Chains A and B, each alone.
Chain A
């Protein structure tokens, strides 16, 4: 199939527009546009993309907008005729009658906007029209901390309106009025700040003029350089393009070429970078002397730590030392950290923050499938015809994936949400099961029951690729649905319909978050989710599977690198002598520690018991984020040495004996692995701030002091460490720094560098056969022991504006967007307790109490409370408890027995 451009024939691609065709054959500048953005549906408002087309050579022509006209076989396209040039110039002249004359070209210190480039290309005409009505006096809106508007420069291209709806899935922006009077409005014709804007900045990025800008004026910067790197917030793994001027970070844009985020990101990735050089950044090594921190040299600090660690090792043995690694650090750094603990110190007491989030996912999926990682890729969303979202609020926690889910939900894909909280996605979903917190196992047993009794199981798949199904089936069929319905608080028919919807889909794709894992029965829930997927054949194809939404940017990677006490790098069992031998050989030492180490909660208990004497903590605020704060403090107080590598003086840093100031992710190289197993590059944007060092460098230095010389040399070089990782971890054989390119690779990465989008393809489970497990619902000890005295169930989650304990986001303007944690209370409970919005209440549990302001919300059921844990002013973990998932000890943040009263 061919069509002609200026009488020369070129092949056409089915479905492409004339604009696509001409731009593909020639170049982007071949046809100018104003309202067009590749990421948005074609709109046809500016008309400067018009071309002449004819059915035959030199035939009579029609003028058509190329952006929304499909190219057809044999079409003759003339895109640069005098008539077309005149039309474009005349349109520009009209536009300029309502555009500030001092904004036609960029001033010297700014890069031209897209609009300025376009009009320069078409030719800036002299305006012949007499002065008429205009919008030049519209008041600018500068109320929002990040996003500003000056609509006098608006050219009514609607790109912001469309980006808001089509990219973010919000509808904050719209046009108001009609004809010449049309103008952009926000919400109820208010400011960005007053509107329900989620501050993603998609509108700013697409706006071709400076009608919409951000506080950093990112679009018109003339940077010394831009560096693409991977975002440090959340497991989506957005690629960011960071602009640097004068060795300072000046703005961030989302690159359109990024496969993960396709030119989009959220307010954290785009705007919340100011923490990096905040005055609060720790800039010098410090040793606590007589209760106060004193600045020391790196040498002094290293010597102090090494000496103390070796002393403790000699006196109490290596197992008296433990290490906490960080899911915010790079893979290379996590790899080095576990190596330091295992090799230089000689214990398997290494654990990380996956312990408090997705450890049950890794464990549970390993039991069921053989691999503890997402089976599929986010891009599969386009192929799924049912989406099952369990215990996750990705609009807040994983905003870019959340926006994709919201788009699918709004467009009417079959969607099932299980959550104790009526989230926005729950409201949009086809099926919403609002369960009582902690009854996940019960609801999944119910779903399995109905899939079986409605004859919707894929018996072929089960028979060929799985084992132990009959045990599961018999177990489930013996359950009493009425009792489970009573327990979960969800009507049987609702569960049945949801189960049928899931099982009937050709491709049902599951996503889950910490609402699954942070429970007493967390690992069991993961295994039951695996069962549901296997019994309906929803594993091993595009658009299906189990897809954990990873909490932090590198939870997946930290686990891959061996940050857990029972498995080393690549998930090999450290109890196995052969494996010990394997690691010893790879690490070039004689002997690895022989038995598995302690998990974080066990380490804290061991400290209280006096068995653990030293903790080496890299990038974790254990005191603030782990449950039952007083218990953690007690453990810390019992230690002889606490070493903390940190960016800020956190609650944990304050308890340290030695603080080693670390560099942020902007200041180093490495890789992060996102929730879909995609290893992506972290590229150094600026040199380390102050006297800080990358965590990887600190660990290499430390190991050296401890007597182990890192074979890749004494300088932290991510590319070289990747070589070592590729040599150690079997499923990363083909990993190299170069091969990662700009979009990374999804593991398993084969020796030839090819990667893997889908796991367990065609029933080939990693562990051989997929295994069904079966469980009864068991009430959490938290409720059994404390439910009577503390009748409310508190569950915790995240808000969009903040990230976990807020060490970074609180030190940006995000804090102006949301400065408080709130307690969400059902109106009836609020009435009973005599509280209303913004009243302060004391909320207490068996462990202690905190005060927090109230927000009345129908999004929680009666008897359920919800809050967040971002602000140290509240310190919610003072009241959370020590119950954890039986298998992994992941704390049950999601079920806390509490009561509250007005103060």
Chain B
């Protein structure tokens, strides 16, 4: 495992005087190199560590420090076609060179999204934009919230103190927690679907005094905003899950790594932690929020750990797994927001009750985000196994315009042509068996008029932009792929199909993590289902 020395030095100051937060603070202050040098000295590392880290993140790069407004260029806003106009209008209010970009703000349900002064907005009229730029009002990101059979994640918490009393019956019996979770067959909701109890069990068995719980709230998939919903509306479900996981495995610290594009989520989680403090419900557990600084790859678990440590968020090799060598090299339970949010219900109603919901190996419910092409966009809690068709028609109320395909599960999720919708049910197995991916179950609609070539160019551009740069296939391959697709659209150049296939195979087989390894799936779907549309670009 690389970087053991830096990791260990960072651990000396751990979370309270955190290296990453220090680098963040200095980068945003636009201080002299002397201050970066002093920071490095204080941590007994070299300058290159500090600026190597800073140079990685969109929000920390020196060239982005002048940007005041960040316009969303995520998939949903792109297919909605709202952003060019938005940028044009904004540039009448703000210098054009002070407008930057950000990949998805979780406003996929209404688009026209931008980040300004630590708030996210959707607005398109010039009057509304003027008011935002001058007043920075605190506006709620509102959308329809619905659920299918049993609301687990979307049910309301009536009384916080009462909600946490469940804690008492489990505090002395870690084995019971693991037993219930095992029975529930709760699988990680970040996309990989790994049985959750297994992680707890593995960390419990590690013989270390320092252990961590880490909540991956770096919901970077453009089109997905379910973690945002959970943090902003169901914070205590998330916190309870982390707390009980900590008490179960012997960890006294929980870190929430929340992406910087979700400023309101950070505020809501902070408030919730404050409530716990005020109500004396913390049980000597320490919560720490780490704010992401604009890097999609931090959603990858090992990159996320490196990020908290102040290292460059490059993907680590596995093994060792986070359960053995996680945050600061200590045993760590790392899972997604939605996974943690399920725990309370499971422990309250029993693992069997949870397992009774869903479809085979995919138990419980799944949060599904619908974009603005739906007649009723919003956030839905859908029981696993529900036909995709009914998600679209019953809950989303169908589409506003002609849709030719859906990208489900983020930028690395499959492109489902509309005629395949009828074959799919909302669960891990159905998607995998049909050559798609449930992922985080966000749905972005690709309208008939939107060229597929542009869509896959967007996916490769996104991958190239967000690649950590560590492994060769992803670092070079995604960039070359993007260059070829762009060239084929703008010049008389035709892509060598054999070369393109080789590239896709190289990415798929050779990449270190799911970013380079995952982007071939939607591209292969596109090549398979939209061959007619694409063939003019290839030779």
Contact = CB atoms under 8 A, between A and B. Distances in A.
A178 B44 contact: no
Contact of B466 (A86, A166, A175, A179): A179
B100 to A, nearest CB: 16
A182 interface: yes
Interface size class of B (residues with CB under 8 A): 35 or more
Contact of B319 (A70, A130, A180): A70
B319 A178 contact: no
A410 B56 contact: no
Interface stretch (A38-46, A249-257, A342-350, A807-815): A38-46
A528 B472 CA distance: 56
A77 to B, nearest CB: 15
B119 to A, nearest CB: 26
A186 interface: yes
Given A47-B510, A94-B473, A171-B49, A180 B2 contact: no
Interface in A42-96: 42-48, 50, 63, 65, 68, 70, 83, 86-87, 90-91, 93-95
A886 interface: no
A169 interface: yes
Contacts of B175: none
21 contacts: A40-B2, A47-B510, A87-B505, A87-B506, A87-B510, A90-B503, A130-B493, A133-B479, A165-B2, A165-B3, A169-B5, A174-B312, A178-B295, A179-B465, A179-B469, A179-B475, A179-B478, A188-B47, A195-B46, A411-B5, A411-B8
Given A91-B473, A179-B469, A180-B464, A41 B51 contact: no
Given A50-B509, A68-B319, A70-B319, 14 more contacts: A46-B472, A68-B317, A87-B510, A129-B480, A158-B2, A165-B6, A174-B46, A177-B55, A178-B297, A178-B469, A179-B466, A180-B476, A182-B475, A189-B48
Nearest to A175: B52
Nearest to B295: A178
A171 B46 contact: yes
- Which 9 A-B residue pairings sit nearest by Cβ, starting from the closest? A174-B52, A182-B469, A174-B48, A68-B317, A171-B46, A180-B479, A179-B467, A94-B476, A410-B5
Interface string B302-341: 0000000000101001110000000000000000000000
A174 B49 contact: yes
A181 interface: yes
A428 interface: yes
Interface string A98-109: 100000000000
B86 to A, nearest CB: 26
B2 A166 contact: yes
Interface of B: 1-6, 8-9, 11-12, 33, 36-37, 44-49, 51-52, 55-56, 295, 297, 312, 314, 317-319, 464-473, 475-480, 483-484, 487, 493, 496, 499, 502-503, 505-506, 509-512
Interface residues of A, number: 61
Nearest to A187: B47
A211 B67 CA distance: 35
Given A42-B317, A174-B52, A187-B48, A166 B467 contact: no
A97 to B, nearest CB: 6
A661 to B, nearest CB: 44
Of the candidates A48, A130, A158, the one having the most CB atoms from chain B within 10 angstroms of its own CB is A130
A170 interface: yes
A851 to B, nearest CB: 31
Contacts of A41: 1-2, 4
A95 B297 CA distance: 22
A243 interface: no
A410 B503 CA distance: 41
Contacts of B56: 177-178
B184 to A, nearest CB: 28
A783 to B, nearest CB: 33
A156 to B, nearest CB: 7
A43 B2 contact: yes
Interface of A: 40-48, 50, 63, 65, 68, 70, 83, 86-87, 90-91, 93-95, 97-98, 128-130, 132-133, 156, 158, 162, 165-166, 169-182, 185-189, 195-196, 407, 410-412, 427-428
Contact of A188 (B51, B295, B468): B51
A703 to B, nearest CB: 53
Contacts, number: 180
Of the candidates B52, B465, B468, B511, the one having the most CB atoms from chain A within 10 angstroms of its own CB is B52
A697 B56 CA distance: 62
B499 A128 contact: yes
Contacts of A170: 46
A371 B318 CA distance: 48
A176 B63 CA distance: 14
A86 B502 contact: yes
Contact of B46 (A45, A48, A196): A196
Contacts of A410: 5, 8-9, 44
A83 B501 CA distance: 13
B469 A175 contact: yes
Nearest to B296: A178
Contacts of B49: 171, 174
Given A174-B312, A179-B468, A180-B476, A47 B512 contact: yes
Of the candidates A158, A166, A182, A428, the one having the most CB atoms from chain B within 10 angstroms of its own CB is A182
Given A47-B511, A185-B51, A188-B48, A165 B5 contact: yes
Nearest to B516: A47
B46 A180 contact: no
A606 B31 CA distance: 65
A428 B480 contact: no
Contacts of B48: 171-174, 176, 185-189, 195
Contacts of A83: 509
Contacts of B6: 165, 171
Nearest to A89: B502
A65 B512 CA distance: 8
A91 B506 contact: yes
Of the candidates A41, A47, A65, the one having the most CB atoms from chain B within 10 angstroms of its own CB is A47
Nearest to B510: A47
Nearest to A190: B47
B461 to A, nearest CB: 11
Contacts of A90: 502-503, 505-506, 510
A47 B473 contact: yes
A129 B499 contact: yes
A169 B55 CA distance: 22
Nearest to A125: B502
A21 B182 CA distance: 36
Contacts of B467: 178-180
A719 B308 CA distance: 59
Nearest to A84: B509
Given A41-B2, A188-B37, A172 B46 contact: yes
A132 B318 CA distance: 32
A198 to B, nearest CB: 11
B439 to A, nearest CB: 20
B317 A43 contact: yes
Nearest to A131: B483
Contact of A180 (B5, B44, B469, B512): B469
Given A86-B502, A171-B45, A175-B469, A63 B509 contact: yes
Contacts of B480: 94, 97, 129, 132
B360 to A, nearest CB: 22
Contacts of A181: 469
Contacts of B471: 44-47
Contacts of A189: 48, 51
Contacts of B468: 178-179
A362 B3 CA distance: 40
Contacts of B36: 188
Of the candidates A166, A169, A181, A407, the one having the most CB atoms from chain B within 10 angstroms of its own CB is A181
Nearest to B314: A175
A180 B4 CA distance: 25
Contact of B510 (A63, A97, A166, A174): A63
B412 to A, nearest CB: 16
